[in-house]
Amino acid sequence: MSQGWVETCQRILEQIQRMSQKRDKDRLDLIQSMRFSLYALHRSILGWLNWVNNPDIMVTFNQKELEEMNKKLTEFITEFIKYDIEITEKGTSKGMAAQRARSEADERARRTPEDMFYI
């Protein structure tokens, strides 16, 4: 199981590398790369959860190894969540601006010449 997992992870890393080195990426290439990367992260997280929830595996690690794993994971996750917040806020503001523009366009389209009043 572990050797197969490692080999698959190596192939995933190679694919991520190929995607990142592609020249002249368009929007679809970028989205495809993000999707692949996020699915790879999801797969890895599920693997970690399987290990962490298995006392037979976790007992093989000493205190120092567990501390190192915990440190790396919390640093990585902290940075990832900070980035998540940043992009979510940016996306929210863009979404609100687009919604406001649609509402204004709908309002302009709804008005008839009788609704307009000029002095």
Give 3-19 pLDDT, tens digit per residue: 999 999 999 999 999 99
Q: Does 35 fall in a domain?
A: yes
Which among 54, 52, 18, 23 has a CA at the least distance from the CA of 37?
A: 18
pLDDT of 31: 96
Query: Per-residue pLDDT for 35 more than 80?
Result: yes
pLDDT of 116: 61
pLDDT of 64: 98
Query: Are 47 and 67 spatial neighbours (Cβ–Cβ below 8 Å)?
Result: no
Q: Does 7 fall in a domain?
A: yes
Q: Mark whether 96 and 86 lie in a shared domain.
A: yes
Q: Which residue has the tokens 């595996």?
A: 57
Q: Mark whether 54 and 68 lie in a shared domain.
A: no
Q: Mark whether 22 and 40 lie in a shared domain.
A: yes
pLDDT of 1: 57
Q: Mark whether 53 and 95 lie in a shared domain.
A: no
How far from chain centre, in Å, is Cα 108? Answer: 37
Q: Mark whether 56 and 2 lie in a shared domain.
A: yes
Q: Which two tokens stand for residue 119?
A: 């002095």
Q: Mark whether 43 and 83 lie in a shared domain.
A: no
In terms of DSSP H, where are the helices of 1-119?
2-21, 27-52, 55-58, 63-110
Give 43-101 pLDDT, tens digit per residue: 999 999 999 999 999 999 999 999 999 999 999 999 999 999 999 988 887 777 777 77
Q: Mark whether 75 and 24 lie in a shared domain.
A: no
Helix axes of 27-52 and 2-21: crossing angle, nearest 10 degrees = 160
pLDDT of 107: 72
- Alpha carbon of 72 to those of 69, 78, 84, 99, 114: distances in Å? 5, 10, 18, 40, 66
Give 105-118 pLDDT, tens digit per residue: 777 676 666 666 55
Query: Per-residue pLDDT for 39 more than 70?
Result: yes
